[in-house]
Amino acid sequence: MERFYLTTAIDYVNGHPHIGHAYEKILTDIIARHYKKRCDDVYFLTGTDEHGIKIQKTSASKGMTPKELCDENANAFKETWKELEIDYNKFIRTTDDYHEDTVQKIFKKLVDNGDIYKHSYEGLYCNGCECFLNQKDLTEDGLCPNHMTKPEVVSEENYFFRLTKYKEAIIKHIKEHPDFIIPQFRANEVLNQLENIEDISVSRSINNVSWGIPVLDDDEQVIYVWIDALSNYITALGYNPSGESDENFKKYWPADVQVIGKDILKFHSIYWLAILMALDLPLPKHLLAHGWITIDEAKMSKSLGNVIAPVDILKHFELENADALRYYMASSAPCGKDGNYSDIDFKEQVNAHLANSMGNLLNRTLSMLVKYFDGEVKPEFKTNSAILNTAKNTIDIVKDCFDKFEVSEAVNAINNLVDTTNKYVTDNAPWTLAKEEKMTECGQVLTTVLDIMCVIASLIEPYCPNIAKDMAKQLSFDLNTKYDNLTCDNIKCGKLISKEDIKPVFLRVDSELADKSQKKK
């Protein structure tokens, strides 16, 4: 694999980031970090969507200009991703000059090619979705199913994109590429939506929406969100519809995976594909449509008052870094399904997996190495135990999971290896072997476990980069090792560690040690 390009949806900046935004970014960051262990060139794009009627109305209600609101909230997203250690390569804002300029050129090219035309229209418009809805899209009560609000009737003369022109080509692509939409069961939803697809409005009258990118040669219209926002995936790479594109575009497009929420799958699997076809550009290889995060089994809602900011979770539990939250969010939902957050479950899961199972396994194994061998690994301790094959197989299982973007399923495989290794320690009882003075056998057991811990550190790093770094330091293991070069012969002979260098890699949440407020008493 020479290179890997992945993107997230760009977040709308009429408010601050919540845990749902964080879930998508954590998920994508974990995928990016995993593939950095498989190829040398990974490019990760995220950003913010900053035009449209909601920004216009929200900024007005706050006595701000739209750009002032965008600047403030875009910075809030950036700061949150920094706290969560989202290691992106580029953060695009749709108010960036280069993006606006390229979007205008894209629009003009589609007009010149006959893919965009002007048309008078009356339809049902949902401000929340920022799109026109058909009657069949609504609930029995006539509400938008996503926002549970009644769309307004809008009459305008707008520019329309000939979506119907590309209907059959999109259907053909989805059917011929069963792994294009992940999870695959969502492909049928898209195919059903395509049955009655119509041409779509891609501009708004400046009289109704003034905060947008102006249409070239028509100062009465602004470019509507779906041409504007969706184009970020290629404008960020330097795509130029009227000339030579930048090297980054030539190098990275098409995207290997675009990570989005299930609620915007229609726009990415239909609108985005049609736009790319109209521009005669390659299509992304995969769309990963993740589920929603509920709070205590209830959908997040401002009216319910259960919208959670991810940084508030870190503050509430006084966590020094985001590893525990990253781990929990990534393991909270099977691929494409909804997940749930609760304080109680968060504490239980991270304590059980990160502190008790994984962290304690490393801590007690190193402690026994110091106790029985003064922290030294001797040449005769090397072993070819069958459990090492389990560790090697786990590497392949995890890689296979990530090939299908099954991030939660991959962490289950890692936890299974941790559990198997804990059982290996219990079954072989190195403390008993030491008591019986079977020191070579005791050393072999400990070294085998530490070799496997190197594998575990490497596999868990995309989820928990700080914990993995602390594990690797105590194991004298190079965490930059690529998965293809990862073996089960990682522990070198000689002095490995001293007693004072053994430290817990993760303190239990709310334990006496982890809870700073408790320590102050």
The catalytic site residues sit at 18, 21, 126, 129, 144, 147, 299, 302
For residue 93, how far is the Cα from the chain centroid?
Answer: 18
Element (H, E) at 229: helix 225-230
What phi-psi label fits residue 81: left (phi over 0), alpha (psi between -120 and 50 degrees) or beta? Answer: alpha
DSSP tag of 120: E
Query: CA-CA distances (angstroms) from residue 419 to 347, 357, 425, 459?
Result: 19, 7, 10, 15
Collapsing DSSP to helix, strand or coil, 123 comes out as: strand
In which residue are the tokens 């575990």 written? 456
**Gap between the Cα atoms of 47 and 236, Å rounded:** 10
Distance between CA atoms of residues 14 and 139, nearest Å: 26
Question: How far apart, in whole angstroms, are the C-alpha atoms of residue 429 and residue 325?
Answer: 33
DSSP state letters, 70-102: HHHHHHHHHHHHHHTT---SEEEETTSHHHHHH
Cβ-based neighbour number of residue 513 at 10 Å: 10
Q: What is the sign of the dihedral through the CA atoms of 268, 270, 272 and 276?
A: positive
Nearest-CA neighbor of 350 among 342, 493, 186, 173?
342
Three state DSSP letters for 335-348: CCCCEEECHHHHHH
Cα 500-467-354 angle, rounded to 5 deg: 100
Of the candidates 381, 357, 389, the one whose C-alpha atom is nearest the C-alpha of residue 488 is 389
Structure tokens at 109: 């090219």
Residue 271, token pair as written in the block: 């609108």
Distances (CA, A) of 383 to 82, 379, 452, 502: 42, 10, 12, 24
Q: At which residue do the structure tokens 């602004």 appear?
A: 222
Q: Which two tokens stand for residue 352?
A: 């059980």
Q: Which two tokens stand for residue 223?
A: 């470019």
- The identity of residue 277, as a single letter, is M
Count, residues in the chain: 521
Closest C-alpha to 222, from 61, 47, 66, 73: 66
Q: Which residues contact 462 (CB under 8 A, 6 or more apart)?
A: 29, 30, 31, 32, 33, 34, 37
Structure tokens given for 500: 């004072």
Q: What is the largest distance, in Å, between two alpha-carbon atoms of the chain?
A: 89
